[in-house]
Structure formats: C-alpha cells, structure tokens
C-alpha cells in the first residue's frame, strides 16, 4: 500500500472541512514547503524531519553510453534528514 | 522555516485560525509518520516520495574513543525528491 495525497486530503477532511476545501488546504501546505525550499531555506518539521537544500559543486562526469567526458554543472538538490524521534518510532519492536 | 512558521503561513493563506492550521499540519505529518512506521511507501506528487529502507547492522567505532560498537540493523525513511520540487529548487 502506498499512501498518497488523496489519503492526506481524507484525514484533513476529517477535521471539519469538506473534501474540496481539504484538497485546497493540503495543496497550500505543500506549496508553502516548496516555496521555502525554492528560496534555499530548509524546512524543519520537528518530530518528523528536515528538508534541506544542498548545493552540489560542479564536477567532471562521463556519459556512460558514449564514454564522453563532460562537465556536470553545479546544482541544488533537496535532501531529507529523518528526525531521531521518528527513527526511534520506526525501529521500536 | 520551522513547523510553527509553516502553520502561520498556512493559516494566513487559507484564512484559518492558528489552532486549526496547527491541527491540519499535525494531522498531515502524523499521517505520513504512521504510514512510515507501518513500513508503507508514501508518494506526494510534486513534493516527493518516501520509502522505508532497511539497513544491515554493522560494526562501527566511536570516533572519539576508538571503541568498537555493534550498530543494530535499522529502518530509515528514504526521500526521493519529486519532479516539480526538483526543478523549482534547481533554478539558475
């Protein structure tokens, strides 16, 4: 089973919102997280984890198909660091 | 941005009382947490997906004392960034 956005909408709808409203609220919540990361600012959800923006330096790479050398540009990536609280809860027997 | 700032931003945009927005944020992340604790995969289009990875145990060392310690096998969530977020974060 995979949990999807539809499940999130459903649990939010359980908080006295109609489905349409709940869907909009979930979308706004996700948008706020993305906006922050877009500006390079980390998002820390205590007890859950931290979404971090990291800068990767440019480096020399190779096209594995042609063997051709090329330069991979510097870029920004998003990483997730799990909260120790969540890690503990995931590993409790 | 931390959780209370996220709650504030949501409350403002959606005209919700802070308490209500707080309830929403806690509910959403609580739901994600429960799925991960059950070992389920999570997929949120636009943001990314989480899957539970199982790591083998290994012999580690305390870097300070040099003491050998047994690291038990563990499960951790692995986040794969979604297409939209990936493109929005990596702007030149």
Mean of per-residue pLDDT scores for chain A: 93
ipTM over 0.95? The verdict is no
pTM: 0.89
Q: Closest residue of A to B90, CA-based?
A: A76
Minimal CA separation from A62 to chain B, in Å: 21
Q: Is A89 in the B-facing interface, judged by CB distances under 8 Å?
A: yes
Question: What's the number of domains chain A is made of?
Answer: 2
Q: What pLDDT score does B91 carry?
A: 78
Domain of residue A9: give its range: 1-39
Per-residue pLDDT of A51-63, as tens digits, reads 999 999 988 999 9
Q: Could you tell me the two tokens for B90?
A: 């990596």
d(CA B38, nearest CA chain A) in Å = 8
For residue B78, give the CATH number of its domain.
4.10.520.10
String of DSSP letters for A3-30: EEHHHHHHHHHTTT--HHHHHHHHHHHH
Shared-domain flag, residues A5 and A34 = yes
How far apart CA B24 and CA B64 sit, in angstroms, is: 43
């Amino acid at each position: 089973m995979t949990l999807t956005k539809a499940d999130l909408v459903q649990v939010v709808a359980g908080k006295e919102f109609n489905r349409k409203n709940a869907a909009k609220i979930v979308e706004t919540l996700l948008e706020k997280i993305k906006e922050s990361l877009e500006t390079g600012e980390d998002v820390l959800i205590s007890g859950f984890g931290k979404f971090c923006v990291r800068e990767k330096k440019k480096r020399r790479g190779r096209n594995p198909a042609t063997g051709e050398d090329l330069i991979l540009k510097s870029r920004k990536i998003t990483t997730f660091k799990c909260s120790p609280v969540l890690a503990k809860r995931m590993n409790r027997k | 941005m931390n959780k209370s700032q996220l709650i504030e931003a949501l409350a403002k945009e959606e005209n919700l009382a802070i308490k209500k927005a707080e309830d929403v944020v806690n509910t959403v992340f609580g739901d994600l947490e429960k799925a991960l604790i059950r070992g389920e995969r999570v997929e949120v289009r636009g943001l990314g997906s989480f899957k539970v990875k199982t790591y083998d145990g290994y012999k580690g060392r305390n870097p300070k004392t040099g003491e050998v310690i047994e690291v038990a096998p563990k499960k951790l969530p692995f986040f794969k960034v979604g297409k939209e977020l990936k493109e929005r974060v990596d702007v030149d």
